[in-house]
A and B are shown apart, each in its own frame.
Chain A
Amino acid sequence: SQQGEEDPQALSIQEGENATMNCSYKTSINNLQWYRQNSGRGLVHLILIRSNEREKHSGRLRVTLDTSKKSSSLLITASRAADTASYFCATDAAAAGNKLTFGGGTRVLVKP
Chain B
Amino acid sequence: KAGVTQTPRYLIKTRGQQVTLSCSPISGHRSVSWYQQTPGQGLQFLFEYFSETQRNKGNFPGRFSGRQFSNSRSEMNVSTLELGDSALYLCASSWQGNNEQFFGPGTRLTVL
Contact = CB atoms under 8 A, between A and B. Distances in A.
Given A44-B103, A97-B56, A30 B98 contact: yes
A31 B42 contact: no
A59 interface: no
Contacts, number: 57
B6 to A, nearest CB: 8
Given A99-B56, A100-B45, A45 B102 contact: yes
Contacts of A103: 42
Majority secondary structure of chain B interface residues (helix, strand, loop or mixed): strand
Interface of A: 2, 30-31, 33, 35, 40-45, 48, 88, 92, 97-105
Contacts of A30: 98
A27 B100 CA distance: 20
Interface stretch (B12-20, B65-73, B77-85, B104-112): B104-112
Indicate the member of B48, B97, B98, B104 with the most A CB atoms within 10 Å: B98
A102 B98 contact: no
Contacts of B4: 42
B98 A92 contact: yes
B11 interface: no
